[in-house]
């Protein structure tokens, strides 16, 4: 149980209890935790009595050195050729499950390619691909219960894909057509789905982090065996809201998984301009949070870590932090040319030699679960289904302009109603200046 050991190790760093062996049982961890809080006050002892921390005195001056050279290790289940490294860590998922992983990852990849191109052609206004991070989405999503609530950033379309969000609705959102569940109000890739428990994405970074904590707190009170997962990038982790969320989740004891996609860049900003500590995982123990770092290109490592974090988060009502190390292979978005700040060689390494999709394919091929023929026919089929959804979405009308005014409040206010009527009067009078035919009536 290397995963568990790492988590325990992190826990100990946090509470400065290195003498405890790595194989601590959960119950002992909890005892240890409550001990810290209920330490009796005894002024006769020459021991520190400060309420703010539980620690010994030390009589030599020594600053704590951050360990950034040899950081928190990266948990991995299979190597780059898809070989299981430690059989005890093999989740031994059945063939159908693994095939489903592969198909969802590649379908997402196909959709990304087509929508990226469509943006280049001016057919949709904006797009963000998921290249290189498909494994983090599918691996974590599959370890969750379908009832678990997902709060995302914007590069987690694979989670929705795994939960069965139809291609038509992905496209409808990007085209902002009349089928879009969001009524065409947000920029492309701001997906959301109530039925699939995926909270609608918004652009402001990290705002979802403390929100996810609130939702997890409410779930804890409902006692319905539900957890919350909250995704964010390593750049978003610099926002104040990340600090708020981490701290609240620990002090309020919420069943929550923070899932950080550390892909090396926040647009053009490399991580050494983002932070100077040992990444994001090293911050978890500072908040009293169990933390782990995983290989984000290893779908099984992501699965194992999320599965265990989910189990314990719900059982023990405490937050977990997973930092998935990966690499953003694509541009930040369609409005960005990443060759302006990083080398093509660097990108090629991750695309050709260490990619979550190719690694899983090696694994499947080695077991005789996937052949060249399977690959060819699946590529053809997935491309066809994406293109069909794409063409359908493109032909669809835009939503009725009335929908510009609804849902600001639960009910239309008199002022909004007046503004709506004023819009219609205006459009009637000057309709030749507006694309009225493109909108539903």
Partner 1 sequence: MAAVARFLIRGANSKLSVPGIGAGAQSSYGATLLKLSATCNACTKPQRRHVAHFTFQPDPVPSQYGPTQKMNLFQSVTSALDNTLASDPTAVIFGEDVAFGGVFRCTVGLRDKYGKDRVFNTPLCEQGIVGFGIGVAVTGATAIAEIQFADYIFPAFDQIVNEAAKYRYRSGNLFDCGKLTIRAPWGCVGHGSLYHSQSPEAFFAHCPGIKVVIPRGPVQAKGLLLSCIADMNPCIFFEPKILYRAAVEQVPVEAYTIPLSQADVLQEGSDVTLVAWGTQVHVMREVASMAQEKLGVSCEVIDLQTILPWDIDTVCKSVAKTGRLLISHEAPVTGGFASEISSTVQSRSHKLARSLPVCCQSYAALPLPVQSGV
Would you tell me which residues interact with partner 1 (CB under 8 A)?
149, 151, 180-183, 185-186, 190, 192-194, 199-200, 202, 204, 207, 209-219, 221-222, 240-241, 243-245, 247-248, 251-252, 406-410, 413-415
Neighbouring CB atoms inside 10 A of 350's CB total 19
CA separation, residue 357 to residues 114, 159, 325, 362 (Å) = 18, 15, 15, 9
For 324, phi and psi rounded to 5 degrees? -95, 115
Angle at 280 between CA 348 and CA 265, to 5 degrees: 30
Distance CA 256, CA 230 (A): 8
Q: Which position among 137, 190, 331, 332 bears the catalytic label?
A: 332
The token duo for 328 is 């953003």
- Residue nearer to partner 1 on the CB measure, 125 or 339: 125
Distance CA 318, CA 310 (A): 10
Q: Catalytic annotation on 332?
A: yes
Distance in Å, CB of 96 to partner 1, minimum: 31
Distance in Å, CB of 212 to partner 1, minimum: 6
Beta bridge partners of 228: 149, 256
Contact 128, 107 (CB under 8 A): no
- Residue nearer to partner 1 on the CB measure, 418 or 431: 418
Q: Which of 308, 202, 196, 317 is nearest to 250 (CA)?
A: 317
Q: Which position among 142, 291, 333, 338 bears the catalytic label?
A: 333
Q: Catalytic annotation on 117?
A: yes
- Residue nearer to partner 1 on the CB measure, 205 or 364: 205
Q: Which position among 117, 346, 388, 421 bears the catalytic label?
A: 117
Spatial neighbors of 64 by CB under 8 A, at least 6 apart, are none
- Residue nearer to partner 1 on the CB measure, 57 or 409: 409
Distance in Å, CB of 131 to partner 1, minimum: 26
Distance in Å, CB of 215 to partner 1, minimum: 4
Q: Which position among 34, 125, 203, 339 bears the catalytic label?
A: 203
- Residue nearer to partner 1 on the CB measure, 188 or 192: 192
Contact 85, 77 (CB under 8 A): yes
Distance CA 405, CA 15 (A): 52
Distance in Å, CB of 214 to partner 1, minimum: 2
Q: Radius of gyration over alpha carbons of the chain, in Å?
A: 24
Distance in Å, CB of 166 to partner 1, minimum: 15
Kindly state the helix (H) or strand (E) to which residue 309 belongs, with its residue range.
helix 299-316
Residue 364 has, within 13 A of its CA and on its CB side, a CA count of 23
Distance in Å, CB of 56 to partner 1, minimum: 26
Say which residue the tokens 């996810």 belong to. 212
- Residue nearer to partner 1 on the CB measure, 202 or 271: 202
- Residue nearer to partner 1 on the CB measure, 181 or 366: 181
Give the residue numbers annotated as catalytic, written as ranges. 117, 203, 332-333
């Amino acid at each position: 149980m290397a995963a568990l050991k790492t988590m325990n190790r992190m826990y100990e760093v946090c509470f400065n209890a290195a003498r405890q062996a790595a194989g601590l049982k959960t119950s002992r961890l909890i005892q240890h935790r409550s001990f810290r809080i209920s330490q009796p006050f005894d002024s006769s002892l020459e021991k520190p009595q400060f309420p703010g921390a539980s620690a010994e005195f030390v009589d030599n001056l020594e600053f704590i050195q951050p360990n950034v050279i040899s950081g928190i290790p990266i948990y991995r289940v299979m190597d780059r050729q898809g070989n299981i490294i430690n059989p005890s860590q093999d989740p031994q998922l059945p063939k159908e499950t693994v095939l489903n992983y592969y198909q969802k990852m590649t379908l997402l990849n196909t959709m990304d390619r087509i929508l990226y191109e469509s943006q280049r052609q001016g057919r949709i206004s904006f797009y963000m691909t998921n290249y290189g991070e498909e494994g983090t989405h599918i691996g974590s999503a599959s370890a969750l219960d379908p009832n678990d609530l997902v709060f995302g950033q914007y590069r987690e379309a694979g989670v929705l894909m795994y939960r069965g969000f139809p291609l038509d609705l992905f496209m409808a959102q990007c085209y902002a057509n009349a089928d879009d569940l969001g009524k065409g109000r947000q920029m492309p890739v701001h997906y959301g789905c109530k039925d699939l428990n995926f909270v609608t994405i918004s652009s402001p970074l990290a705002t979802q982090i403390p929100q996810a904590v609130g939702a997890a707190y409410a779930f804890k009170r409902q006692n319905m065996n539900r957890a919350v997962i909250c995704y964010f990038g390593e750049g978003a982790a610099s926002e104040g809201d990340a600090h708020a969320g981490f701290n609240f989740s620990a002090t309020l004891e919420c069943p929550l998984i923070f899932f950080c996609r550390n892909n090396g860049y926040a647009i053009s900003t490399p991580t050494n301009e983002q932070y100077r500590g040992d990444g994001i995982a090293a911050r978890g123990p500072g908040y009293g949070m169990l933390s782990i770092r995983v290989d984000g290109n290893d779908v099984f490592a992501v699965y194992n870590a999320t599965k265990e974090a989910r189990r314990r988060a719900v059982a023990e009502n405490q937050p977990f932090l997973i930092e998935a190390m990966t690499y953003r292979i694509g541009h930040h978005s369609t409005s960005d040319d990443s060759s302006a700040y990083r080398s093509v060689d660097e990108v090629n390494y991750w695309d050709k030699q260490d990619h979550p999709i190719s690694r899983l394919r090696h694994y499947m091929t080695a077991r005789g679960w996937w052949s060249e023929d399977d690959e060819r026919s699946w590529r053809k089929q997935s491309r066809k289904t994406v293109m069909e959804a794409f063409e359908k979405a493109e032909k669809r009308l835009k939503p009725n302009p009335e929908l510009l005014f609804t849902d600001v409040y639960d009910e239309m206010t008199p002022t909004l109603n007046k503004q709506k009527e004023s819009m219609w009067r205006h459009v009637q009078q000057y309709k030749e200046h507006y694309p009225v035919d493109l909108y539903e009536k």
